Amino acid sequence: MVLALLVMALMVMLGIINTRIGLIDTARMAWIVLAVSSACLVGLVTLPRRLGGTIFFACIAAVLLVIPAYGLDHQRNMQHWAYIFPPLLVFLMRPGPSLVVMILYGIYMSWVTSLLLPMIDVVRFASGYGMTVCFMYTYALLQDRAATMLRYHSEHDALSNCLNRRTFNEAVDQLAAPSRRHERCEFLLIDIDHFKAINDQHGHRVGDRMITQVAAELGRMLDPDAPLFRYGGEEFAVMLVDAPEGAGNVLAERLRAAIERGDFQGVKVTISIGVALWRASGGKIESALQKADDALYAAKRAGRNRVVESGANRA
């Protein structure tokens, strides 16, 4: 919105200045851009932010495509508008596609310029525009990688590399959304047995290593459609969405056995798992999570290193 207001203010200045010095055709172009920017500003105010922003940048890009043809029609060179195009594309497209469009636009603008100016001016424009494209493409790549890293670290736990609790909560919210398409989900809550004793006997650094190693071992046993979440502390969670009946208990037993026979460098590690089923027609997800938690504590009370299903699962 701020950018739209700045563009509008700039177009007012250009329109007034070009009118006063007698460049009526250039002034007309400024007023056209002002009208487009004003319409886009209304869209930014009334539409969802992402949609409004996309429409704004797309409209400005369309204007920049028309400007060279408009200048050619009036025998007036407007190559200076071309330098706006590369940074504009950074807001609209991923780096790869934007580079292709930048190059095509540069060829188009160079061709139009060659019809109005001597070849030396075309070479100068192409050189400057090419440098602009190089810098903007590099900037777009860096921004894309930074965004990817930021997204990864916002979704993953730094110690275990599992998806974090916030991501788990979002997945649960999506499962419970009115537009959901899933009918059932089995929740597995997993806890490392005697973890406090591991910390007390071997130190917290070894405890952290156990969390990392257990997470890695669990992750190796899971399919891509069953992500592993760090639920909190030494506790993990798995969501089996629309899996076959009984798949949660089978998977839980496989995970338990894998940790029991795993090599944890001299430290004895086992896990307890609580399993509960949620059906779309059978109540709130929070109730299923509570049942999984109750089943986990039942496994602890029964001696640990075991899987316990919620009573609702067996019914």
Contacts of 217 (CB under 8 A, 6+ apart): 258, 259, 262
| Cβ atoms 78, 33 nearer than 8 A | no
CA distance 106 to 87: 13
Token match 């890695």: residue? 216
Contacts of 33 (CB under 8 A, 6+ apart): 7, 11, 60, 63
Active site residue 245: no
In 115-246, which ranges are continuous DSSP H helix?
119-155, 165-176, 195-202, 204-221
**Tokens (6 digits) for 23:** 């460049």
Contacts of 149 (CB under 8 A, 6+ apart): none
CA distance 59 to 53: 10
Q: Which of 217, 234, 235, 309 does the annotation list as catalytic?
A: 234
In 47-94, which ranges are continuous DSSP H helix?
49-73, 85-92
Q: CB count, 10 Å around CB of 159?
A: 12
Question: Pairing state of beta strands 184-192 and 271-279?
Answer: antiparallel
Q: Which are the catalytic amino acids?
A: 234
